[in-house]
């Protein structure tokens, strides 16, 4: 009998579909609705240390072919989501989900946020959002390859729970090599890597354009970076 079941990180989910962070996952009401929905799992809104209003409105508009947004990371703060995560984990230990963590202030806040989670009772998956656009004056962390490497090195020095990174689209094949953490020890610590669908589109386009050899090189390059399976965003 056909099944959509997907096994990931020691748990079998009914299906591999879930929301992407930021979409209907800001409040506990929205999160509970996702948890009670037919989705296999869910991910929380990316949390910064302090709650944020985000960019001035209008910041989200539906258009014929989808939507355009410049949200600026509005969220209710790390404590809010961590509290929800700890309670949800205790009440539904057999329904794992993903907690998304970001930073507004940059490097030190990323580290402090991860330290807080390490010291908390939450033991589930964390997705570190290194790819938040639309925050005026704050570049996406994952476009700074040296800082990303430094950040992961610092986090892995103390963080022992499962976590992955969410990356922005990259537009040059060299970036895949540049992103590869300097130590293979780092890659073996990553549990997931989420990529934007835009990146998947670029890869698809290139795969069609390029020769078989180059395709192999591309796959190896990405696989080396991760040292494990690449997981598309919004799928487990
Ligand atoms: C309104 C909105 C808010 C978002 N907020 C977040 C967020 O808080 N954290 C995050 O990692 N991604 C956020 N994203 C990005 C989505 O998770 C997703 O990566 C992006 O929309 C690309 O997927 P798509 O092509 O299916 O839209 C947001 C996207 C939208 C449209």
Q: Is residue 235 part of a domain?
A: no
Q: Is residue 233 part of a domain?
A: no
Phi, psi at residue 156, to the nearest 5°? -65, -15
Q: Is residue 231 part of a domain?
A: no
Instruction: Provide the residue range defining the domain that includes 154.
Output: 6-226
Please list the ranges in the chain whose pLDDT falls under 70. 180-236
In this predicted model, what pLDDT tens digit does every residue of 23-38 receive, in sequence order? 899 999 999 999 999 9
Q: Is residue 12 part of a domain?
A: yes
Q: What CATH number is attached to the domain comprising 181? A: 3.20.20.70
Q: Is 19 in the pocket of ligand 1 (CB under 6 A)?
A: no
Task: Write down the pLDDT at residue 196.
Answer: 56
Task: Write down the pLDDT at residue 165.
Answer: 86
In this predicted model, what pLDDT tens digit does every residue of 145-184 receive, in sequence order? 888 889 988 998 999 999 888 888 887 878 877 776 555 4
Do 160 and 118 contact (CB within 8 A), yes or no? yes
From the list 150, 74, 80, 147, the residue with the least C-alpha distance to 113 is 80
Task: Write down the pLDDT at residue 199.
Answer: 47
Instruction: Among 23, 81, 193, name the best residue to mutate to test ligand 1's pocket (greatest count of ligand atoms within 8 A of Cβ).
Output: 23
Do 42 and 98 contact (CB within 8 A), yes or no? yes
Task: Write down the pLDDT at residue 83.
Answer: 98
Q: Is 233 in the pocket of ligand 1 (CB under 6 A)?
A: yes
Do 60 and 67 contact (CB within 8 A), yes or no? yes
HSE, side-chain direction, 13 A CA sphere, residue 208:
5
- Burial class, 209, CB count within 10 angstroms (exposed 0-12 / middle 13-18 / buried 19+): exposed
132 as an active site residue: the answer is yes
Q: Is residue 232 part of a domain?
A: no
Q: Is residue 234 part of a domain?
A: no
Q: Is residue 17 part of a domain?
A: yes
Point out the ligand 1 atom lying closest to the alpha carbon of residue 233.
19
Query: Tokens in use for 144?
Result: 């700074």
Q: What gap in Å lies between CA 20 and CA 235, rounded to an integer? A: 9
Q: Which residues, other chains included, contact 96 with Cβ-Cβ below 8 Å and sequence gap of 6+?
A: 9, 11, 41, 89, 124, 125
Report the number of distinct structural domains present in the chain. 1
Do 227 and 183 contact (CB within 8 A), yes or no? no
Task: Write down the pLDDT at residue 132.
Answer: 85
The pTM assigned to this predicted structure is 0.84
Q: Is 180 in the pocket of ligand 1 (CB under 6 A)?
A: no
């Amino acid at each position: 009998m056909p099944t959509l079941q997907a096994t990931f990180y020691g748990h079998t989910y009914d299906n591999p579909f879930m929301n992407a962070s930021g979409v209907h996952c800001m409040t506990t009401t929205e999160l509970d609705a996702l948890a009670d929905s037919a989705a296999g799992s869910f991910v929380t809104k990316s949390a910064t240390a302090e709650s944020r209003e985000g960019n001035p409105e209008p910041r989200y508009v539906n258009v014929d072919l989808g939507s355009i947004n410049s949200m600026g990371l509005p969220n209710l703060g790390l404590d809010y989501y961590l509290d929800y995560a700890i309670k949800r984990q205790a009440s539904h230990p057999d329904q794992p989900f993903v907690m998304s963590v970001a930073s507004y202030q940059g490097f030190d806040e990323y580290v402090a946020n991860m330290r807080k989670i390490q010291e908390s009772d939450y033991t589930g998956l964390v997705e570190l959002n290194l790819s938040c656009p639309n925050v005026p004056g704050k570049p996406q962390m994952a476009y700074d390859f040296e800082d990303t490497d430094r950040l992961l090195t610092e986090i892995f020095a103390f963080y022992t729970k499962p976590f992955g990174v969410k990356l922005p689209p990259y537009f040059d094949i060299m970036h895949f090599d540049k992103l590869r953490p300097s130590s293979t020890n780092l890659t073996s610590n990553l549990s997931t890597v989420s990529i934007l669908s835009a990146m998947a589109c670029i890869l698809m386009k290139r795969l069609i354009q390029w020769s078989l050899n180059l395709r192999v090189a591309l796959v190896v390059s990405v696989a080396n970076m991760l040292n494990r399976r690449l997981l598309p965003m919004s799928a487990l």
